[in-house]
């Protein structure tokens, strides 16, 4: 069976960079100096993945701030008389990190360009990009699709799902052409968390169809913040080639009850704590998944983006993931 390993979201900045960023915001250092250090760290994290032999490489998204911010900025989803970086901060689901919440005041339209390719182009090997799923982006935003009490307005929510999916499709095709991207992952922190998921399931499926229509890249939906097994067997009908799950929160045993015809991404590295997993334990667990679930193919990944742990811990976890792959092979 084919087994791969790669990363799946924003990587943490170093303590030095965090301190420098704070100094920049306080006017004690220049933006140029701050970004110089960020560039150096980005290149280092790309080289780390390449040296460890990961099957797909990400740029680490150190310049993103949070996983919605560049998109909110490109689509001008900001408060009146402000910019996207000044939107209120909101706690991410079940985490101690925060994001700038987009504000949607009208139907969404295509922007000229969303993702900066300058670091993607530094990658030697297969290039991967991570984007929010249509459902996650709209669900985590404020605006015309919610009442004053925050309750979703169903019809406009469905329309915005379509709008954003088409924006993603346009951007993915640009990334394929201009940046030679060959793998697109949709991060989905809301699917297993939101009470509204079942009601919108068909619309979620249609939005993924729109987002992936006519693209050549490998596609993945990575589900975290809950137990993905509760969506079986319909989970296997989603229009993506790979399904990622949080192995710490998902009842993996239930996957043995269905014929798993997709590429399974098992989130075997816990991104919510600083314990560095033993590569031998990961390899043994992966072997059990192969034996009991018999997925079409398997990838070893973190259970969610590694942004929650210090960078030095993240690096050790990444190295352990790579070593587990070698042991498994």
Is the pLDDT assigned to residue 98 strictly greater than 80? no
Q: For 16-72, what is each residue's pLDDT tens digit?
A: 888 888 888 788 888 899 999 999 999 999 999 999 999 999 999 999 989 999 999
Is the pLDDT assigned to residue 86 strictly greater than 70? no
CA distance 48 to 32: 24
CB atoms within 10 A of CB 43: 14
Is the pLDDT assigned to residue 83 strictly greater than 60? no
- β-pairing, 3-5 vs 89-91, is unpaired
Is the pLDDT assigned to residue 195 strictly greater than 70? yes
CB atoms within 10 A of CB 182: 16
Q: For 240-251, what is each residue's pLDDT tens digit?
A: 999 999 999 999
3-328, which class in CATH? alpha beta
At residue 143, the 3 state secondary structure works out as strand
Is the pLDDT assigned to residue 222 strictly greater than 90? yes
State the pLDDT at residue 84.
Answer: 54
Average pLDDT over residues 264-275: 96
Q: Identify the helix (H) or strand (E) that includes residue 239.
A: none
Is the pLDDT assigned to residue 80 strictly greater than 90? no
Determine which of 5-14, 69-78, 127-136, 199-208 has the lowest per-residue pLDDT on average.
69-78
Q: Where are the domains of the chain?
A: 3-328
Average pLDDT over residues 74-96: 70
What value does the CA radius of gyration of the chain take, rounded to a whole number of Å? 19
């Amino acid at each position: 069976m084919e087994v791969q390993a790669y990363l799946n979201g924003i990587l943490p900045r170093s303590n030095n960079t965090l301190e420098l960023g704070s100094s920049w915001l306080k006017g004690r250092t220049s933006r140029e100096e701050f970004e110089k250090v960020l560039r150096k760290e980005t290149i280092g994290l790309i080289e780390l993945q390449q040296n460890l032999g990961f099957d797909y490489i990400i740029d680490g998204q150190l310049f993103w701030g949070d996983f919605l911010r560049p998109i909110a900025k490109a689509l001008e989803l900001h408060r009146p008389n402000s910019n996207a970086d000044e939107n209120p901060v909101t706690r991410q689901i079940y985490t101690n990190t925060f994001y700038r919440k987009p504000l949607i005041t009208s139907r969404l339209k295509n922007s000229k360009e969303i993702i900066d390719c300058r670091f993607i182009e530094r990658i030697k090997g297969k290039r991967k990009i991570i984007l929010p799923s249509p459902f996650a982006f709209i669900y985590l935003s404020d605006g015309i699709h919610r009442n004053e009490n925050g309750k979703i307005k169903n019809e406009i929510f469905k329309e915005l799902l379509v709008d954003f999916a088409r924006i993603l499709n346009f951007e993915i095709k640009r990334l394929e052409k201009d940046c030679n991207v060959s793998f697109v992952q949709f991060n989905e922190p809301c699917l297993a968390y939101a009470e509204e998921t079942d009601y919108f399931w068909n619309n979620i499926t249609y939005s993924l169809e729109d987002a992936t229509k006519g693209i050549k890249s490998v596609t993945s939906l990575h589900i975290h913040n809950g137990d993905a097994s509760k969506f079986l067997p319909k989970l296997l009908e989603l229009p993506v080639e790979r399904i990622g799950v949080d192995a710490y929160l998902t009842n993996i045993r239930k996957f043995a009850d269905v014929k798993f015809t997709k590429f399974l991404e098992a989130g075997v590295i816990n991104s919510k704590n600083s314990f560095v997993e033993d590569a031998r334990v990961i390899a043994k667990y992966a072997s059990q998944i192969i034996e009991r679930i018999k997925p079409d193919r398997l990838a070893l990944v973190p259970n969610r983006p590694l942004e929650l742990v210090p960078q030095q811990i993240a690096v050790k976890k990444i190295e352990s993931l790579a070593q587990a792959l070698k042991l498994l092979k």
